[in-house]
Each structure stands twice: as structure tokens, then as C-alpha cells.
A and B are shown apart, each in its own frame.
Chain A
Amino acid sequence: MSGTVTREAVSELVDVCGAQRVVVAPQGRLIRAMVPAPFPFHRWADEAPDVVVLPETTEEVVAIVKLANRLRIPIVPRAGATGLNDGAKPMRGGIVVDTKRMNKVLEIDTTDWTVTIQPSINMLKLNELLTPHGVWYPDDPASYPVSIVSGRVGTGGWSLLGSRYGHVRDNVISMEFVLPTGEVIEVGQGGGRKIRHSSTGYRLKDLFLGHQGTLGIVTECTLELYPRPEAEFPAFFGYESFEDGYRAVQPFCRSNLATLAGVILFDERKVEYLRRDDEAYIPEPESLRSIVAVAAYGSEGEVAAARDRLMQIGADTGGRYLGEELSELDWASRHDRYATPLHGRSRGRAVHMSWHCEDAAITYSQLPFVKRRWHEIADRYIAEHDVFDNWGMFFYTNNAYKGWGDFLVEIDIGVWEQRFDERSWQAWTELKREIAQVSLAAGGSISACHGATREGEVDLIPVELKDGQFDLMLKLKRLLDPNNIMNPGKYLLDRAYEEAERAGGAPGNPEGVPR
């Protein structure tokens, strides 16, 4: 037991949740030190929380948060822990609030088309419960079979079907939220739990989407429902150069098809990796150097019409349709990264590596520049360190409800985590920083999807959020979390308190209790 989590504090947590839902055993704590983002295994023991609690109700969450606030104990909300960022990873020990048991469906409203849930339900499971009602919730991350709604709220999640159905911030209508001081608030578009658009007051909902666990814990969500799609149509087209594929993307994006769910461009290195090792591997012609994949969802008549237009665009842009089997199965494999081990190459050996993707939001015009620079950076680090492998890049439509505009850009890096030592870990964070610098130089955002709290890129947050944005973040954090208990150390938000202490004291911590 370390830090401020005393036996008395654990005893109080047991009074709140019962002994069965308070975990102090090392294995239960160590596993909750990790997320799928590359992890410094050589520091594992330093990263573990002191205690884990598994609440089941809002009242229990309130009691836990009030206790942590009173004793100034760090507290980290944790959902599915499938994120490629480190939002769910404690940095200062303390209490991990694992919300997985808060997974009940509270109301399926088939009149106003909403579903209200305790937020730690998995989307696949939620859709199984919604199917008999003819409706669904369309949030579709790569982690669809394993991630849960509350984590999607914490990261402000991005969806693979976003160009058709929007992303998480578009489909969460309202939330119940426990603030770091233990107050419970309801946030939505304005008033009204089921109101989709309001012009009353500030739009506070967005503040609590993508906060990475730094502003509180979501305890209830009301979500948008859609009619279940009658049909889908995926198609993969091959091109003989990256440039050909890049040029073909625009006509697909601007096809004026409301059913278009996404357009994805794979570069030469990604095609090479698909041929080599990926679970989605299907033999492809050697002359093929890039792929453009598209998918449409909706009523059968609309998707059939979209299918005809997409096939025509593929032919007009010189694309080679790669067949029904490849198109259907490779599209269906989009969730596989969370379910299959992956192979990397290190000095000619095949080794087990973890998948990690660095992401950014980049406009179409800047994609070739970013692609060239990111590969140069990755290849330079691979030449110097034997723990990385370059698995190629892809570019995915990023705009909600429309296919044009900017793109989610990812470079997939194989990481041999078990070989990490301090030298290679520092190399990893420097690699990430260089990649983020290129994104900013291209006028983009450090992250479109995963979040940007990790070592390396986090230093550039004040650079991206310049002209007062980051300063406003600091003020909001300090206002809502006066004692810096909620996921401290993330997003450089400690600066809010350091500046106050330099100015002559910490008003949020009048008793001087050590943090």
C-alpha cells in the first residue's frame, strides 16, 4: 500500500461496495495498470493502482469520489481498457474505479427512439438486445466486440461508420455525470434527456466527451437509435500506385451518396503487410500497390443504387474490383486487430509484436506529405532499434455524416513490448513526438481518434491548442476538480495547480493534505 490509500480508506471503500468488489490483490491491480497502447513493462510495478473498486450504482460512484476528494487520493475511471491512448492507466497509483459492472439497460424507448443505459455495456451486446426492436446503435470502433460505451465517452470515440452515422459525440444525446467533487449533473444538448438539439445555454455535453477521465465519471447515457440497416455493400478496389489510389479517393468521397459509411485508402506498405502477415490476408495481384475500400449501409434500395454508382466510380478511376469474397471478408475483418496476435519482423526474425497505430486528423491535400514524413521517421527508428516494425498506413474519412474533408491518418507500428527497456521506451516516445510534430506542421490535429495524453505527443498539446484554448482547459480543470484527484498527470493538466501554487497557495487544497 503506498501513497495516501490507507487501510482506513480501503475499509471505507469496502463499506461502500462490499469486500467482493474491492480489489487489493496484486494480480487484480497490476492488470489494471495496462491498456493496449504500448506499455513500459519494465516499469510495471510503478504503474499499478493501490486499490481497485467495482461500483454498480451512481450512489456508489458518488461515495467513492467523495471519499477520494476528501482524502486527496488520485482516482482513475476505467471502462473496457481497450484504448490506444493511456486514459485508463493510473500514473500516480490511487484508486481505479472499474465501471464494468455498471452494464444494465435502463430503458429502450421505441417511441422516441432512444436507449438509456448504465454506460459500461459493450456495443455488440447492446445491439443484440436492440435487434428484436428493429433498431441499433451504430458506434463501430475497431474494438467493437470488446470496448464499452463509457470508455467511448471518455475518449470521445471515432467510428468506422462515422461518415454515415456520425461518431460518439453525435450519438450520445445526454449523460449523467459524477464530477470530481461528487456532485451529480445531467448534461445534454440543453435541457431534456432525449432532446437532440437545443439552443438553451452552453453545449456542455461536449466538454465531457473525450476528457480522458480527467473531469469525472459517466454513470448513465441516453443514446441515439437508428433503424437497422437492411443491407450493406463493401467493395475493395486495387490501384497500381499510391498516387492512383490517392486520386481515386476524391470521386468516392464526393459521390453524393447518403449511405456512404467510409472511404479508406491503404498505401504500398500496408498492402505489403497485408500480403505478409495480416489476418485479413487474401492473395492479391503483385502489381497492386494501393487499395481503396468503400462501404455503404442503409435500406436495400438505397444501398443497391449506391452500389451501382460506387462500382462505376471504381471503374472510371482505373480501379480493379478485387472480388466479392475479398471485399466482404476484408471489410468484416476490420475488428480483428483486437482478437488476433500479430507478427512483426525484427532483424529478419518473425516475432510476436503488439499492434499500435499512431493517428492524426489531416486534410486531404496534406496526405502525401504526411505519408512520406511518417514513413521516414518510422524507418529511421526501426534502423536504430530492433523493437519496432512498420506495418503501413491508411487514410479514413473523418467527417461525420459526410465523406469529404479531412482524414483519420494512421501508421501501424509493430511494437515488441516485452523487449522494452528505458532506452527503447524513450525512443518510442521520441518517435511519437516526431510524428505529432509532422501532423501539426501539416495543419492537422495530433489525434483524430485515440486521444493525445501519452508520453511524447502530450508535450505538443499546448502547441496544438494555442491562442488560449489550452489555458481555458487548465481553468476548467481547476474549476471542476479543485484538488486534482481525477486522473492526475494527464494532458499536462497538473500545470493548472502548479501555477496556482507558485502564485501563493492552493485554494483547492486548504488543509495542505499531500497529493
Chain B
Amino acid sequence: MNQRDEHGLPPGVIDNDGHYEVDPAIMTVYPQFATDFEVDRIVKGRLEYLYWVQRHFAERVLPPHAEEPDEPRRAG
């Protein structure tokens, strides 16, 4: 814990122009990986949030073209 290099820094810390950072050389790089379940959860969570906020504004979002009379409403 008390080890210091010649610059007085503990192991694994570098001085980057006066800003102390963890030395990337000692980092382990893990590939970015998410299961289908995780992706689904993240995307669904974001869409639910956007939908929830948007419903503070209007009851429903109109599609770009007039709906057929028997077409079900998309939101609201």
C-alpha cells in the first residue's frame, strides 16, 4: 500500500499532465457483451420511460397518414 515510484505515485497510477489516472496497461479489457435478455430489458426500459414522459403531453401520437376507420389506436 505504501509503495511509491520515483515520482511518488502508488503502483498503477500515472500522472497525465497533472491529472492522475489509472494506468491503462494494468486494466483488463473485457469484450462488451449483453445477453438478449439484457438488451431487451434495456431497450424496453428506455421505450417505457419515453412513453411515460410523452403521455404527460398528449393522449396519443398520430401516425403519418390517416388511419382506416377500423384500425386500432396505437397509444393512449
Contacts and interface: CB of A to CB of B under 8 A. Distances in A.
Contacts of A144: 53
B66 A231 contact: no
A332 B66 contact: no
A335 B61 contact: no
Pairs of residues from A and B, 7 with the lowest C-beta to C-beta distance, nearest first: A232-B58, A229-B58, A332-B50, A233-B62, A127-B56, A332-B54, A231-B62
Interface string A91-105: 000000000000000
B69 interface: no
Interface in B24-76: 47, 50-51, 53-54, 56-66
Interface residues on A, range: 20 to 34
Interface of A: 124, 127-128, 131, 136, 140, 144-145, 228-235, 297, 300, 303-304, 307-308, 311, 321, 324, 327-329, 332-333, 335, 418-419, 421
Given A304-B66, A421-B18, A229 B50 contact: no
Given A304-B62, A308-B66, A324-B63, A229 B19 contact: no
B64 A231 contact: no
A329 B50 contact: yes
B58 A324 contact: no
Given A128-B56, A333-B50, A421-B18, A232 B62 contact: yes
10 contacts: A136-B56, A136-B57, A230-B58, A231-B59, A232-B54, A232-B57, A232-B62, A297-B58, A307-B62, A308-B66
A145 B53 contact: yes
A449 to B, nearest CB: 19
A144 B63 CA distance: 25
Q: For the complex, would chain B's binding face be called helix, strand, loop or mixed by DSSP majority? A: loop
A324 B54 contact: no
A131 B56 CA distance: 8
A418 B60 CA distance: 42
Contact of B64 (A124, A297, A307, A332): A307
Given A300-B62, A333-B50, A335-B53, 7 more contacts: A124-B53, A124-B56, A136-B56, A233-B61, A233-B64, A304-B66, A421-B18
B1 to A, nearest CB: 25
A136 B57 CA distance: 8
Contacts of B53: 124, 144-145, 332, 335
B34 to A, nearest CB: 17
Nearest to A230: B59
A324 B62 CA distance: 9
A328 B61 contact: yes
Contacts of A321: 64
A229 B47 CA distance: 21
